[in-house]
A and B are shown apart, each in its own frame.
Chain A
Amino acid sequence: MTMTPIAIPKRTQSARLENWSRAFYRFRQSWLSIVGLAIVVLLVVIAIFAPWIVPYPEHVVGGTNTGARFQPPSANAWFGTNALGQDMFSLVLVGSQVSLFSGLAVVFIAIVVGTAVGAIAGYFGGWVDEVLMRITDLLLTIPSLILAMAVAAALGTGVWNMIIAISITWWPAYARLVRGEVIVKKEEQFVVAAHALGANWLRILGKHILPNIVSPIVIKASLDMGFAILTVASLGFVGIGVKPPTPEWGTLLSGARSYMPDYWWTAVAPGIAIFLAVLAFNLLGDGLRDVLDPKARR
């Protein structure tokens, strides 16, 4: 019965770096996540440079060309032209700006508000928790799309009004998520220790608890980006949202509705754009979940 001494493997990399490379390996394992990431990167690049790369920049600021109405897709206008003779390709490319920006803003605001509410409710418990969570629950029972539409309509057109309206319906989900995580983390040794050492609650929350619950928030946020974009487009589709000359995918699609099916290309281009953007963020989110939360893998 011999005991071989256990050789402790030499560390060639820091543990952190090793974690990252392993995480990246897991991400690469699924080619769908890579596809998602690629489309997202492409979208961001397009959104940033759209005004300079589109073939008909004058069309995206309201310029029309009534002589070339309803041209089918061709070498001149890849996605055809609409009722005003505007180039659909240019409109769709620039449309990515509103979608990406408002999607990002909605998720960001929802995270900030939701994290604040959830962290306070979870940390203090008691009646604070009760009140905050009852409000959260109430908001969760309301059909979010209808509420967002109503608020956006009341606030009037404009990107920011739309963003605020959607955010109102989105933060409760984050509040629930963060509250649950905070309650778990609150009981852990290092937090109890920090408390005993007299750290104040803001410090404990900000320094010790919140940094430890970044993963679930990031996972949810990346999955939510796609659905935020979808909601923005939905509002545009029913006629609430940005002001007309600014191209927006949902609005473009709704405008195309009256000319179906003869001028189908006016609907297909913005529709596919929405579809691709949502799909890409979903794939990316799935991939990130595999990386950050391997346990949740199917």
Chain B
Amino acid sequence: MALLDIKNLNLAMRSYEGETQILHGIDLKIERGEIWGMVGETGSGKSLTGLSVSRLIASPPGRYLAGSIEFQGRDVLKATDKEMRMLRGRHIGMIFQDPTTNLNPAFRIGTQLVDVALHAGHADPSVLGLGAGASRGDFKKAAKRVAVEMLEKVGIPKAADRIDDYPHQFSGGMRQRVLIAMAMIGKPDLLIADEPTTALDVSVQAQILRLIHDLVAERNIGVLLITHNLGIVAQICSHVAVMFRGRILEAGKVNDVLKRPSHSYTQALLNSVPTVHTKRGELMGLSGAMRETSA
């Protein structure tokens, strides 16, 4: 049984112009310990795929036409709202792109961490190191302790003091660390990170990626890392899926796909990444013709 098994996922979204199909039969299988990179041009449906796993797309506007998303053997598209909530935060963690807008500005980061920890703890007390009969007070104390530990783990110095600070008192990179701590505090089995470093400085990007990589290695969890950056994929991913217009063109081990792309779109994508060997003027954009043929 795979950790995550998306089969033939078809999703349509409704907008002012009417309903359009966005995902056309996505297939993707993620096992524990695998870091899947998902690349593709903007609007190809990467984020919607990621959100679907936690069933975070409201309907309307979203509507699933066909397919299933099995997480640890159970189809999340058929789960009840309550079951979904028990998965979120506890079994599936998520990180989004912009750390400046993804933390609630009106609350101390500790409050936000503790609430997520409490939620995960109610789903499974062992997350907080508690037994089934623990009291409310125990939960609160444990959640606070775990929050501080988690902050230390993601590299926030003086975590015990900073837990009472508000988001605006942190830098962008630090905020993304806090968000990673929030996503990981419930000890999830799967982490979905949607462009977690796009909004950050290049120097900070590497630190954040290393952090994610280390946490994943330590806990042996599965990761779906959505990105535009093939360089990132090459560095930290074990597998990659290339998306184009709501379809997965090719997927597999990073080495196989990036070394021997079987699809012209992937080839073009690779050519668009500058390397030290790229000469001036050689950098290619994706042409309209290429888009037509590969669709």
Contacts and interface: CB of A to CB of B under 8 A. Distances in A.
Q: Tell me if chains A and B make direct contact, with any CB pair below 8 A.
A: yes
Interface of A: 1-2
A2 B291 CA distance: 13
Interface string B273-295: 00000000000010111000000
A1 B289 CA distance: 7
Contacts of A1: 285, 287-289
Contacts of B287: 1
A2 to B, nearest CB: 7
A251 to B, nearest CB: 49
Interface of B: 285, 287-289
B292 to A, nearest CB: 12
5 contacts: A1-B285, A1-B287, A1-B288, A1-B289, A2-B288
B72 to A, nearest CB: 42
B294 to A, nearest CB: 15
5 nearest CB pairs, A to B? A1-B287, A2-B288, A1-B288, A1-B285, A1-B289
Contacts, number: 5
A66 B75 CA distance: 82
Nearest to B286: A1
Nearest to B290: A1
Contacts of B289: 1
A1 B288 CA distance: 6
A2 B285 CA distance: 12
Nearest to B285: A1
A2 B289 CA distance: 9
B108 to A, nearest CB: 31
A59 to B, nearest CB: 55
Contacts of A2: 288
B97 to A, nearest CB: 26
Contacts of B285: 1
A234 B285 CA distance: 70
B285 to A, nearest CB: 7
A1 B287 CA distance: 5
A93 to B, nearest CB: 45
A1 B292 CA distance: 12
Nearest to A2: B288
B24 to A, nearest CB: 26
Nearest to A3: B288
Nearest to A4: B288
A2 B292 CA distance: 13
Contacts of B288: 1-2
A243 to B, nearest CB: 56
A203 B75 CA distance: 72
B283 to A, nearest CB: 13
A105 B289 CA distance: 67
B252 to A, nearest CB: 30
A1 B272 CA distance: 14
B272 to A, nearest CB: 13
